[in-house]
A and B are shown apart, each in its own frame.
Chain A
Amino acid sequence: MKTRLLLFFLLLTFFLPFQNTAAQPVVTENAVTELVSEQKTIQPGQTFWIGVHQELREGWYVYYRNPGDSGMPLMLEWVHDKDFQIGDIEWPTPLWIDVSAGMASHGYYGSVLFMMEATAPEDLIPGEEYTLMAEADWLICEVLCIPEYADLELTLLVTDEEPIYNEDNLALFNNTRTQLPVVLDYWKAEATIHSSGATLTLSTDEFPLPDYSEIVYFAKEEGEIENGAAQPFNVDGNTITIELKKSTYKSGDIDRLWGLVYNASGWDEAGTIPSIIVDVSPGEESVAASDVATMPVLSSRFMLILVFAFIGGMILNLMPCVFPILSIKVMNFMQMAGHDPKKVRLHGYMFGAGVLLSFLFLALLLIGLRAGGQELGWGFQLQTPAFIAFMTFLMFALGLSLMGVFEIGNSLINVAGKANTGEGMRGSFFSGILATVLATPCTAPFMGTAIGVAITLPATTSLIIFAALGLGMAAPYVLLSSFPALMKFMPKPGAWMETFKQAMAFPLFATAIWLIWVYGQQAGIDGLTRLLVGLLLLSLGIWILHRWKAVQISGTARIVSRSIATAIIIGGFLFSVPQAGSESPGNEISSSNGFGIDWIAYSESGLQQKIDEGNNIFIDFTAAWCITCKANERIVFSSDRVKDKFNDLNFVMVKADWTNRNPEITRALESFGRNGVPLYVIYSPSLEEPMILPELLTPGIVMDALEKVSGGTTLTFSDS
């Protein structure tokens, strides 16, 4: 690369004396810089285009007007004596360059032209030559940054005839013009401001919008938005919304969105315009939004996704997270079997409706949160400490209830599962909801794909996919209740049921322990202890409620005892929930069990380095709250055969721990079209593309995958 540039420079120096436009390319350590003109000759008073053209060393970049979190754009100081008017640089659409640690640069690689409009003074004399002179300063970076500078010159011949274009530079100028942001009047921009950032809304009625894959807003000024933050966008009908996070260094609210918006698919229907200029202040532009709700296309691909979503929903029932609820439901069905079959069917439908509705609710929440600018995934509920604490309380209370500590008829379990009266219909409905809430952290096979697709699609499409998931999960219950004949295989009710019911408390307690463990991973030993104290208060409150039963005591005592109990329970919950801002710092790696493997923590830069070095790499995307992940790890990594194989192939073992939402890992999951864990990926120089393993692992599956990595020769043998 460098030698080629040098050759180019040498050639130029040879030919330069014979040209009438004399431009002087300056070779610095990392760039060849030249002041160029689109025209060889100019007329007095005429407007023409000049530019600073830079050929950069491979892998090095220079900066956009707003350089991002570090760096400096090209600076020009004009020092010629004639009064040429030279306009501001027309900045081409930059690239978003990730510089790790949540920071980003905006810049250009390769060949770049910084164009400017120049106007010649009226008093130029035809036939004479004039020279434009500039002192240019720029910073060029790879990992390190080097400041470079050059004195640039451009000599132009003045003519009173038609100006002659510089054929060599025409293509350069024209190509750059296609990269400049433009104003497209059929796109309307609107900005809404919130305390943590801003929402940029772009809409058009010009053509139906395709599914855009990549849209990035570049602020023209520094210190407005957080450069390294993700910019989640959503295309819905004729409207695109882009979420922008406010810069940490911005003291007030964002008051202006001024910059350009890049779209990988282009902004016109033909897809030729890469970026448009936006300049809006909040509430300034209001569009008469004739919201044309476009139905998602029911293409065969979309139908396939729906089928997968349905199957994924069904498989959810087999996931460990749903297990406690399943056991409660099984108990219910047994109780209901003795009743009217119509009623049983109705219970099934109610349960199904509960599941379906909560899936839709989740979808709406997901859409809302996504719009709220969060990088989130399918397991997002269980990542919030407050939610985990709440679920622990619920599980513990349900367990106590099953044990008979407090009355079942009026208790939580009524909601969670028990159903034998009219009120029981409600119970079935809510147990459907509970089952769904519990199922979310386990991403079953197929579901990863469906959710991954759903998150990138318009809101209506996401809703349909979630509905399919819900239907899938509800299907077995509806079937079972519609064909109560199957119920015959259930044991008859009797005294043993009380024993069975009490025994069912243990899975709930086990779930509570698991939740407490997850909580401990996030909040540390102190937080965990607070939660346990909270549970103690909960049991105290429940004991008060039960010891002094409502029917046995007078009105005042009832009110007093109930208030005390409620205060204790709510106080216990508030006590165990982490205070805002006191999040534990050391929650990076939960290396509770590495199975004797040297795991290294995931980082984008670290991974890229290992890939570049030509290593075999295994990445385990996991989280403390993901039981499927833990089960997989236990099954696979306790096998010495598998571990030896990994060792033999010199695998670099990378653990991407998603216990706390880590944006870097969220991005990595998204790059594989996933939105949840587990995910297992193998990189190897012998593979053309990274290999994705199934979500349910066995030692056999892993061994087969490793064979493919090691046995490249064997495979070619069978191929030929």
Chain B
Amino acid sequence: MKKTAFLSLIIAASVMLLNFTSSDSERAGAVVGQQAPDFSVVDAHGNMHSLSDFEGQFVILEWLNHGCPFVRKHYDGNNMQELQRKYTEKGVVWLSVVSSAPGTQGYMEPEETLRTAEEKGAAPTAILLDVDGTMGRAFDARVTPHMYIINPEGIVEFNGAIDDRPTARARDLEGAHNYVVAAMTSLLNGEPVEVATNTPYGCTVKYE
């Protein structure tokens, strides 16, 4: 008798459990305050990079697609290159990630990637060629430019837009509040990040 009641309770409870265990896991991504997803991606020079290689350093991730008007805004205005120089000089790792699948906008062969980077005067630590989109999906990178900051312990400190002007016009660079600069300034001073997450703007990442 008792056992029956007890077991019915178990059945009911485990069925109820569904409600709680079936959380949406499809979109974990890089969550601020949590460990960043690890990755192993080849760069345009053919070298492999993993997040664990950069333990003890700040890492800035920039999703890149040179065909995207929003990205062009930041490169034509020399904004992205300046940021790359500014932070790599301070020992911060800057990784530009291309998740465009072959045949889609923004995809380039390694040589073309390097040539374009030189033409634009880009100065990241490396340009990662995430051809199959594994890294992009792991981070839930949605647009170009989508920006992330990871601290020396591998914790995500920022996930969001590069600045507060969601336009493709280069003239909007002037007077824009750059969230990456604000976050990095706080982090390098050992302070908490004020705006740690917001909606990134740009073109969708051209996953396969």
The residues of A with any CB-CB pair to B shorter than 8 Å are 67, 69-72, 75, 99-103, 137, 139, 143-147, 149, 196, 222-223, 247-249, 251, 361, 365, 368-369, 372, 374, 380-381, 383-387, 390, 410, 412, 414-415, 423, 426-427, 430, 433, 437, 577, 580-581, 583, 585, 661-663
Contact of B140 with A by CB under 8 A: yes
Q: Which residues of A contact B96 (CB under 8 A)?
A: none
Q: Which residues of B contact A99 (CB under 8 A)?
A: 204
- The closest CB in chain B to the CB of A661 belongs to B22
Cα separation A427 to B206 with both chains bound (whole Å): 57
Contact of B27 with A by CB under 8 A: yes
- The closest CB in chain B to the CB of A249 belongs to B199
- CB contact under 8 A between A390 and B14, given known A70-B201, A70-B203: yes
- The closest CB in chain B to the CB of A422 belongs to B1
- CB contact under 8 A between A423 and B142, given known A145-B68, A386-B21: no
Q: Which residues of A contact B166 (CB under 8 A)?
A: 67, 72, 222
Contact of B19 with A by CB under 8 A: yes
Q: B200 to chain A: closest CB distance in Å? A: 7
* Residue of A139, A144, A369, A427 touching B19 (CB-CB under 8 A): A369
- The closest CB in chain B to the CB of A104 belongs to B204
* Residue of A365, A385, A423, A581 touching B15 (CB-CB under 8 A): A365
Q: Which of B139-188 contact A (CB under 8 A)?
A: 140, 142-143, 159-160, 166-169
Q: Give the A-B contact count at a CB cut-off of 8 A.
A: 127
Q: Which residues of A contact B203 (CB under 8 A)?
A: 70-71, 144-145
Q: B81 to chain A: closest CB distance in Å? A: 20
Q: A446 to chain B: closest CB distance in Å? A: 25
A663 engages B26 (CB within 8 Å): yes
Cα separation A700 to B206 with both chains bound (whole Å): 42
Cα separation A410 to B4 with both chains bound (whole Å): 9
Q: A254 to chain B: closest CB distance in Å? A: 14
* Residue of B4, B138, B207 touching A415 (CB-CB under 8 A): B4
Cα separation A577 to B207 with both chains bound (whole Å): 33
Q: Which residues of A contact B168 (CB under 8 A)?
A: 72, 137, 139, 145, 147
- CB contact under 8 A between A248 and B200, given known A72-B167, A75-B167: no
Q: Which residues of A contact B198 (CB under 8 A)?
A: 223, 249
Cα separation A6 to B29 with both chains bound (whole Å): 46
Cα separation A603 to B24 with both chains bound (whole Å): 19
Q: Which residues of B contact A412 (CB under 8 A)?
A: 7
Cα separation A386 to B25 with both chains bound (whole Å): 14
* Residue of A384, A430, A580, A583 touching B18 (CB-CB under 8 A): A384
Q: Which residues of B contact A383 (CB under 8 A)?
A: 22
Cα separation A365 to B18 with both chains bound (whole Å): 10
Contact of B69 with A by CB under 8 A: yes
Q: A341 to chain B: closest CB distance in Å? A: 25
B18 engages A147 (CB within 8 Å): no
The residues of B with any CB-CB pair to A shorter than 8 Å are 1, 3-4, 7-8, 11, 14-15, 17-19, 21-29, 67-70, 104-105, 137-138, 140, 142-143, 159-160, 166-169, 196-207
Cα separation A380 to B18 with both chains bound (whole Å): 9
5 contacting pairs across A/B (C-beta < 8 A): A101-B205, A222-B166, A365-B15, A387-B18, A437-B15
Given contacts A145-B168, A374-B22, A381-B18, 20 further A-B contacts (CB under 8 A): A70-B203, A72-B166, A102-B26, A102-B27, A137-B169, A145-B69, A222-B166, A222-B201, A223-B199, A248-B197, A249-B200, A369-B19, A381-B15, A384-B18, A387-B18, A414-B4, A423-B4, A433-B8, A437-B11, A577-B21
- CB contact under 8 A between A70 and B143, given known A101-B207, A146-B69, A251-B197: yes
* Residue of A70, A144, A385, A386 touching B142 (CB-CB under 8 A): A70
- The closest CB in chain B to the CB of A663 belongs to B26
- The closest CB in chain A to the CB of B7 belongs to A415
Cα separation A368 to B15 with both chains bound (whole Å): 13
Cα separation A661 to B26 with both chains bound (whole Å): 9
- CB contact under 8 A between A144 and B67, given known A249-B198, A385-B21, A410-B3: yes
Q: Which residues of A contact B27 (CB under 8 A)?
A: 102, 248
Cα separation A42 to B173 with both chains bound (whole Å): 38
* Residue of B19, B26, B196 touching A251 (CB-CB under 8 A): B196
Q: A334 to chain B: closest CB distance in Å? A: 22
Cα separation A396 to B143 with both chains bound (whole Å): 48
- CB contact under 8 A between A143 and B15, given known A137-B169, A412-B7, A430-B4: no
A384 engages B22 (CB within 8 Å): yes
Q: Which residues of A contact B29 (CB under 8 A)?
A: 248
Cα separation A426 to B159 with both chains bound (whole Å): 55
Cα separation A247 to B198 with both chains bound (whole Å): 9
Q: Which residues of B contact A222 (CB under 8 A)?
A: 166, 199, 201
- The closest CB in chain A to the CB of B67 belongs to A144
Q: B77 to chain A: closest CB distance in Å? A: 13
Q: A67 to chain B: closest CB distance in Å? A: 8
Q: Which residues of A contact B206 (CB under 8 A)?
A: 143
The 8 lowest CB-CB distance pairs between A and B, nearest first, are A223-B199, A147-B168, A147-B69, A249-B199, A70-B204, A583-B25, A390-B14, A386-B21
